[in-house]
């Protein structure tokens, strides 16, 4: 496995993590009727940072190939 393949796998992993965190927050908020604003803020930051990181890695990997 070369470096380019590893970056692509990391990018896919980061995108998956962002989907899982977003899904977990939405489901827990729906079932528990949560009113914890800080949880939404932290989850939002995690989702945005992992999503953007994954997109950047994928784009850089595609441009170099």
In this predicted structure, the answer to whether residue 64 has a pLDDT above a threshold of 80 is no
- Note the pLDDT of residue 65: 64
In this predicted structure, the answer to whether residue 2 has a pLDDT above a threshold of 80 is yes
| Helix ranges, the chain (H) | 3-32, 37-64
Buried b (16+ CB within 10 A) or exposed e, 47-64: beebbebbeebbeebeee
pTM: predicted TM-score of the whole model, two decimal places: 0.81
CA dihedral for 65, 1, 53, 14, sign (positive or negative)? positive
Task: For 13-60, write each residue's pLDDT tens digit.
Answer: 999 999 999 999 888 877 877 677 788 888 899 999 999 999 999 888
Annotated domain spans of the chain: 9-64
């Amino acid at each position: 496995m070369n470096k380019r393949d590893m970056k692509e796998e990391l990018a896919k992993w980061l995108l998956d993590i962002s989907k899982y965190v977003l899904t977990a927050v939405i489901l827990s908020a729906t079932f528990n009727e949560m009113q914890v604003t800080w949880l939404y803020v932290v989850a939002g930051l995690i989702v945005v940072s992992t999503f953007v990181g994954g997109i950047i890695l994928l784009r850089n990997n595609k441009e170099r190939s």
